[in-house]
Chain A
Amino acid sequence: MIHDMKPEDMIGDYKETRLALYRSITRLILYTDIETPYPDGKLIVSTTDKEGIITHVNKAFVEISGYTEDELLDSPHSILRHPDMPSAAFKDLWDTVNKGIPWQGYVKNLRKDGGYYWVKATVIPNIRQGKVVSYTSVRRKPSRTKVEECIKLYPTLF
């Protein structure tokens, strides 16, 4: 399940918008300008089922997202969707992994408290007995140069 974001969870001044996610589900998004730096040396790991519902998260994911493990499990991965991310990026992600091909890109993710963090994400299809059964996403610390390029590029993709 995915819920609207709540003012009481926000840290700092926030803006509001409503994002269309998937299957005509929309979500009230509250977001701030506060960036959380990616922690050195850590990988954020999660697994989703074929519909993008989170089935596994590691500790680093819980720490940086601000959500509890229980809040993340059974939620769609789009719980992290930031309004500054163009939907074209996620269409490309799903089009790619649905073909059984890994996807890689730089993503601005939304925290529960309205802040954000940048990652370099790699998503691969998990193939068991020749069939895609789930997807694993591993995020690592991005190069600041690449992030700066994305900050310029992404607004042009809306």
Chain B
Amino acid sequence: MPYQFTVSPDFSPDHLSGWFFFNTWLQKQTGQAIHLETYDSFQAQLEAIQRNEVDLIYANPFDAAMLVREKGFLPLVRANGVADEAIIAVSAESSVDKVTNLMPGITIAVTEDPAVLMMGMIMLESADLSADNIQTAIHNSYVLVAKNLLQGNADVGIFLAEAYDDLANITKNKLKILVRSQISVIHHSLMIGPSLADKRDDIQNLLVAMALGEKGNSVLKSLGFASWIKVEDEEMEFMIDVMDTLAI
């Protein structure tokens, strides 16, 4: 049976082929059979994790606590210079120009990404907004979040900052950023499950050195970042602690 690798469903569609290249590279480097399985939703991925079908995962920060504390996963690496940040945006034509101008009863366009939703909702708290006094419309992509803002179907959009920055300029020109988070310590991480735990150090070393080889470097480019950096256990625990405080 090959080991199973999966990627948090919020990955950019532009990077799908990059993850397959990465999986091929990893199999060659480790000599292990690894199958990349992608899931359409966080729920489907969660169910696979609960059935112990996942051995390696590029995990959304929201899932890190569950993976570490309930499933015995350990951190390997994270993308160098990449943190999960959220943006609150409105249509450029909106009269609202700061979060505290937003009123209860508004409709907020979001995706399923739980970490981005949490960071976004925290930034809306200062306007006395919460799940109790807003409508939430969930969309399959950030492009659709933007589209719904522009069509007037939603008053506010919550975006992963990276996804917002990747929107076409013609779209961004019709939007207005109210606030961009600067949290810095919340990030996706590549994590290893108990079935591969004995190979953790070897895989971690391979990944940290990945950018040094021509092939590895090219695969990293297709993923959209320059290198992996090691995540220590305590760094992961710290991120989980911060996430815990935000979830309250």
From A12-20, A41-49, A70-78, A85-93, give the one contacting chain B: A41-49
| Residue contact B244 to A41, C-beta cutoff 8 Å | no
Total number of residue pairs linking A and B with CB closer than 8 Å: 66
B128 contacts chain A at the CB level, 8 A cutoff: yes
Q: How far is the CB of A125 from chain B (nearest CB, A)?
A: 9
A83 contacts chain B at the CB level, 8 A cutoff: no
Which one of A40, A59, A136 has the highest number of Cβ atoms from chain B below 10 Å of its Cβ?
A: A40
Main secondary structure of the interface of B (DSSP, over half): helix
Contact pick for B125, options A58, A60, A140, CB 8 Å? A140
A68 contacts chain B at the CB level, 8 A cutoff: no
| Residue contact A41 to B125, C-beta cutoff 8 Å | no
| Residue contact A136 to B180, C-beta cutoff 8 Å | no
Given contacts A126-B237, A143-B128, A145-B128, contact A42 B242 (CB under 8 A): no
| Residue contact A141 to B123, C-beta cutoff 8 Å | yes
| Residue contact B244 to A120, C-beta cutoff 8 Å | no
Interface residues of B in 97-118 (CB under 8 A from A): 98-100
**Interface residues on chain B, number (Cβ under 8 Å):** 24
Which one of B99, B125, B181, B241 has the highest number of Cβ atoms from chain A below 10 Å of its Cβ?
A: B241
Given contacts A41-B181, A42-B182, A42-B183, contact A141 B245 (CB under 8 A): no
Q: How far is the CA of A43 from the CA of B180 in the complex (A)?
A: 12
Give chain B residues whose Cβ lies under 8 Å from the Cβ of A60. 182
Give chain A residues whose Cβ lies under 8 Å from the Cβ of B167. none
| Residue contact A43 to B183, C-beta cutoff 8 Å | yes
Q: How far is the CA of A42 from the CA of B246 in the complex (A)?
A: 12
Q: Which residue of B lies closest to A128 (CB)?
A: B237
| Residue contact A136 to B241, C-beta cutoff 8 Å | yes
Which one of B100, B180, B182 has the highest number of Cβ atoms from chain A below 10 Å of its Cβ?
A: B182
Q: How far is the CA of A101 from the CA of B245 in the complex (A)?
A: 11
Q: How far is the CA of A136 from the CA of B245 in the complex (A)?
A: 8
Q: How far is the CB of B177 from chain A (nearest CB, A)?
A: 10
A102 contacts chain B at the CB level, 8 A cutoff: yes
Q: How far is the CA of A56 from the CA of B51 in the complex (A)?
A: 38
Q: How far is the CA of A146 from the CA of B100 in the complex (A)?
A: 13
| Residue contact A138 to B242, C-beta cutoff 8 Å | yes
Nearest 7 pairs of A and B residues by beta carbon: A138-B245, A122-B245, A141-B126, A41-B181, A136-B241, A40-B179, A41-B179
- Which residues of A approach B to under 8 Å, CB–CB? 38, 40-43, 45, 47, 58-60, 102, 104, 120, 122-124, 126, 128, 136-138, 140-146
- Which residues of B approach A to under 8 Å, CB–CB? 98-100, 122-123, 125-128, 179-185, 237-238, 241-242, 244-246, 248
Q: What are 20 sample pairs from A and B whose C-beta atoms fall under 8 A apart?
A: A38-B126, A40-B99, A40-B179, A41-B123, A43-B181, A45-B185, A58-B185, A104-B248, A122-B248, A124-B245, A124-B248, A137-B245, A138-B242, A140-B122, A140-B246, A141-B123, A141-B126, A142-B125, A143-B126, A146-B128
